[in-house]
């Protein structure tokens, strides 16, 4: 088993400060239990990669963090504020009030998806500006200027007025990354962001993520890219059947004695 050398910069991790914490998070779809009692703390500046077989609940875990898929039970603590699922069966107005507090959490958490989910009816720059003007209430002119810079940073300076249909998969994903970063999030969630890209476009997106990690962004990355995970992550979590089986530094995971972790790694790195 060959695993590339580490180039993780430990100095960026603020060990003293837990930014995000999941406590006893459970989630089921119908009778299928997808997450079982998940506990996880993320420090400021830390990059945590989540690996594991398909269907192990990695994506659902990520989506529970910003309540895109609200947990059934348990809590998400973000910057010392606790978020729990609130769901009154009959009081629709109470549910609405609760629902309307969630944007406070979500706007500080950037998310990038496997299928990009860029808005097809808006140009690249409009995609990036939407959250700035409608969530952060930034003036349109200022937002436009900032959005242009964001797109230049991800190498799309000449595509700002293009509609997504004219962009390649890699370019769409860059727009999606710029859109998430435009809100100055405190943590970024990446949900298998290279899985639906053509192979030659994967490394470009991974480079963007490396750059972000180097800049000190707190990141939670669900990925099948083992090289990336072992090079960039401060910690790697291995999930199987809705549980975090094991979490540790790349070194620890690499030398794991846990049967399932070993089996998964050897099947992937064989």
Partner 1 sequence: MGTYNFNWHVVQDNLPQLMHGLVITLQISAVGMFLAILFGLFLATMRLSQYKAMSSISYGVTQVSRSIPLFVLLFWVYYGLSLKFGIKFSEFQAGAVALGITGGAYMAEILRGGIMAVDPGQQEAALAIGLTRFKASQLVVLPQAIKIVIPQAVNVYVGLLKGATIVSVIGVADMIYVAQYVSLQTFRPFELYSFAGIVFISLTLSIAGFAWLLEKKLSHGRVNG
Site for partner 1 in 54-113 (CB under 8 A): 63, 66, 68, 92, 99-100, 102-104, 106-111, 113
Q: Which of 17, 134, 140, 214 binds partner 1 (CB under 8 A)?
A: 134
Q: Does 137 bind partner 1 (CB under 8 A)?
A: no
The region of 6-14, 128-136, 213-221, 257-265 touching partner 1 under the rule CB under 8 A is: 128-136
Between 83 and 116, whose beta carbon lies closer to partner 1? 116
Q: How far is the CB of 111 from partner 1 (least distance, A)?
A: 4
Q: How far is the CB of 120 from partner 1 (least distance, A)?
A: 3
Q: Which of 6, 77, 135, 201 binds partner 1 (CB under 8 A)?
A: 135
Q: How far is the CB of 56 from partner 1 (least distance, A)?
A: 20
Q: Which of 35, 49, 50, 118 binds partner 1 (CB under 8 A)?
A: 118
Phi, psi of 112 (to 5 degrees): -125, 135
**Which 3-state string (H, E, C) describes the chain?**
CCCCCCCCCHHHCEEEEEEEEEEEEEEEECCEEEEEEEEEEEEECCEEEEECCCCCCHHHHHHHHCCCCCCCEEEEEECCEEEECCCCCCCHHHHHHHHCCHHHHHCCEEEECCCCCCCCCCCHHHHHHHHHHHCCCCCHHHHHHHHHHHHHHCCCCCCCCCCHHHCCHHHHHHHHHHHHHCCCCCEEEEECCCCCCCHHHHHHHHHHHHHHHHCCCEEEEECCCHHHHHHHCCEEEEEECCEEEEEECHHHHHCCCCHHHHHHHHHHHC
Q: Does 179 bind partner 1 (CB under 8 A)?
A: yes
The region of 30-38, 131-139, 143-151, 205-213 touching partner 1 under the rule CB under 8 A is: 131-139
Between 107 and 153, whose beta carbon lies closer to partner 1? 107
Cβ(244)–Cβ(38) under 8 Å?
Answer: yes
Q: Does 156 bind partner 1 (CB under 8 A)?
A: no
**In sequence order, which residues have a C-beta less than 8 Å from that of residue 257 and are 6 or more positions away?**
none
Q: How far is the CB of 129 from partner 1 (least distance, A)?
A: 11
Cα distance between residue 188 and residue 234, in whole Å: 15
| Number of C-beta neighbours around residue 108 at 10 A | 17
The region of 6-14, 78-86, 175-183, 246-254 touching partner 1 under the rule CB under 8 A is: 175-183
Q: Which of 78, 116, 190, 264 binds partner 1 (CB under 8 A)?
A: 116
Q: Does 183 bind partner 1 (CB under 8 A)?
A: yes
Q: How far is the CB of 94 from partner 1 (least distance, A)?
A: 13
Q: Which of 176, 178, 232, 244 binds partner 1 (CB under 8 A)?
A: 176
Q: Point out which residues bind partner 1 (CB under 8 A).
A: 63, 66, 68, 92, 99-100, 102-104, 106-111, 113, 115-121, 130-131, 134-135, 163-165, 172, 176, 179-180, 183
């Amino acid at each position: 088993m060959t695993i590339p050398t580490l180039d993780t910069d430990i100095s960026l991790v603020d060990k003293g400060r837990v930014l995000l914490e999941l406590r006893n998070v459970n989630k089921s779809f119908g009778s299928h239990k997808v997450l079982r009692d998940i506990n996880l703390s993320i420090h400021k500046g830390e990059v945590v990669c989540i690996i594991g077989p398909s269907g192990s609940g990695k994506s659902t875990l990520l989506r529970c963090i910003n309540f895109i898929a609200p947990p059934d039970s348990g809590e998400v603590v973000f910057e010392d504020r606790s978020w729990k699922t609130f769901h009154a069966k009959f009081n629709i107005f109470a549910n609405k009030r609760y629902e309307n507090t969630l944007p406070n959490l979500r706007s500080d958490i950037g998310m990038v998806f496997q299928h990009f989910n860029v808005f097809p009816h808006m140009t690249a720059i409009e995609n990036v500006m939407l959250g700035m003007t409608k969530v952060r209430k930034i003036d349109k002119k200022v937002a436009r200027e900032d959005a242009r810079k964001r797109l230049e940073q991800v190498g799309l300076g000449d595509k700002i007025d293009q509609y997504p249909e004219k962009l390649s998969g890699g370019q769409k994903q860059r727009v999606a990354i710029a859109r998430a970063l435009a809100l100055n999030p405190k943590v970024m969630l990446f949900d298998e962001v290279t899985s639906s890209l053509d192979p030659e476009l994967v490394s470009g997106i991974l480079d963007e993520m490396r750059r972000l990690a180097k800049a000190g962004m707190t990141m939670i990355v669900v990925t099948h890219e083992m090289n990336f995970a072992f090079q960039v992550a401060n910690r790697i979590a291995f999930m199987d059947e809705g549980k975090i089986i094991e979490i540790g530094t790349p070194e620890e995971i690499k030398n794991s004695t846990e049967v399932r972790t070993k089996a998964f790694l050897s099947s992937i790195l064989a």
